[in-house]
Amino acid sequence: MGNWKTCILADLGEIVGGATPSTKNECYYGGDIPWITPKDLSTFKGRFISRGERNITIDGLNNCSTRLIPSHSVLFTSRAPIGYVAIAENELCTNQGFKSIVPNKSTDFLFLYYLLVHNREKIENMGSGTTFKEVSSSVMRRITVTVPTNIEEQQAIARILGALDNKIENNNAVNHHLEQMAQAIYAQAFPCRDNPTIPISELIDVRDGTHDSPKVVEKGFPLVTSKHLLPFGVDLVTPNLISKADFDKINERSKVDRHDILISMIGTIGLISLVIEHEINFAIKNVGLFKTSQTEDWVYFMLCFLRSPETKNHIDMRLAGSTQKYISLGELRQLPIFVPTVDELMDFNNTVRPLFEKIALHTKETLYLITLRDTLLPRLMSGELSIPDLGGVK
């Protein structure tokens, strides 16, 4: 380790909380001031955030204890849940679910972002509370960390990790654009019309995963739930692991194969994932399964159909449950689908297949880059791996 020091987070910048303007006063909302809540970060995949779901007005800002923080401040959620991290792309404010840090002149903002990512589990363990855990401002200020004393070394570390995230975010943006193109082609080829439809289960097999909660084990097979679904592929790093016996039992009824399509059935409903992994070693829970792998010609058509606004609206109108909404397997099997002719399907596949193949390649590269970043992160942030070990930084 080079010239590093142990300090507390308060030494790196000002710790800033937030607040919520009274929701009873409509004139506090709908203004031009970005206002971020933890919910805004729950599905946020990048590093830089410019605004959330809602803005507030100057009256809303002046009538609560939130405050504007400058661009390049690092946002850290301190409750419900603890540990979402993002960088303010512009001046904004937050609700009370944050303990953000406005870095001082001796602290590189991007390094600070990665430092908080590296330490989020440690910070979460410092939380307290009965209903839900929360990290107070005083606790946040006293969190001990180890950092390079030289800001140039901080910036060099941040450049290495930032270069990987730049490529990851670029791949995600390109994939989003390619998918939008595919959806536009689908909408043009198969516009909403009064053609007869049939239940989707008459075309393909529709199943679902377990609704039980198998025992968690230290070594085993990932149990994928709604929160682990990615647009293409699944997150296999964060799921709980289950035994081979439970894995085999679940897969007796809901074995997942490459080019199947998964859909979240509870909580955040309607997340659609195309399975692109070659080797499937996971089981699914509270997830619907469209067995498009059995009829490969239908994969891309079904994917675009399930992601279409019409299908989303249809599902939203058929949710059940009072405490927590869900879509039943029966409703998924009854999804009304228009059946194109063989020639229409062939023309559509010939047009969109290259787009989805590019998406698959970008996704594979992104997963590799994520693994590389997550491997380098703890070694760089602890000083175990110094910049000369990587041949220097330009």
Q: What is the pLDDT of residues 325-350, one digit of tens each?
A: 999 999 999 999 999 999 999 999 99
Q: Percentage of the chain surpassing pLDDT 70? A: 97
d(CA 238, CA 116): 19
Residue 254 pLDDT greater than 70, yes or no = yes
User: Which residue type, as a one-letter code, is found at position 3?
Assistant: N
- In the three-class reduction of DSSP (H, G, I as helix; E, B as strand; rest coil), residue 176 is classed as helix
d(CA 380, CA 384): 6
d(CA 145, CA 6): 6
d(CA 96, CA 73): 16
The answer to whether the beta carbons of residues 287 and 268 sit under 8 Å apart is no
pLDDT of residue 304: 97
287-290 and 206-208 strand pairing:
antiparallel
User: Which residue type, as a one-letter code, is found at position 372?
Assistant: L
The structure's pTM equals: 0.86
Alpha carbon separation from 197 to 82, 319, 334, 369 (Å, rounded): 46, 21, 10, 43
pLDDT tens for each residue of 88-131: 999 999 999 999 999 999 999 999 999 999 999 999 999 888 77
The sheet with strand 283-284 has its strands ordered as 241-242, 221-224, 283-284
What are the residues whose beta carbons fall under 8 Å from the beta carbon of 24, sequence distance 6 or more?
none
pLDDT of residue 389: 55
Name residue 232's beta-bridge partners.
274
For 46-59, what is the mean pLDDT? 96
pLDDT of residue 80: 82
d(CA 88, CA 92): 7
Domains parsed from the chain with CATH numbers:
4-149 (3.90.220.20), 151-180+348-394 (1.10.287), 191-339 (3.90.220.20)
d(CA 301, CA 387): 48
What are the residues whose beta carbons fall under 8 Å from the beta carbon of 78, sequence distance 6 or more?
97, 98, 99, 127, 134, 135, 136, 140
What is the average pLDDT value for the chain, to the nearest integer?
93
Note the Cα 282 to chain centre separation in Å: 19
pLDDT of residue 322: 83
| Tokens found for residue 178 | 């390619």
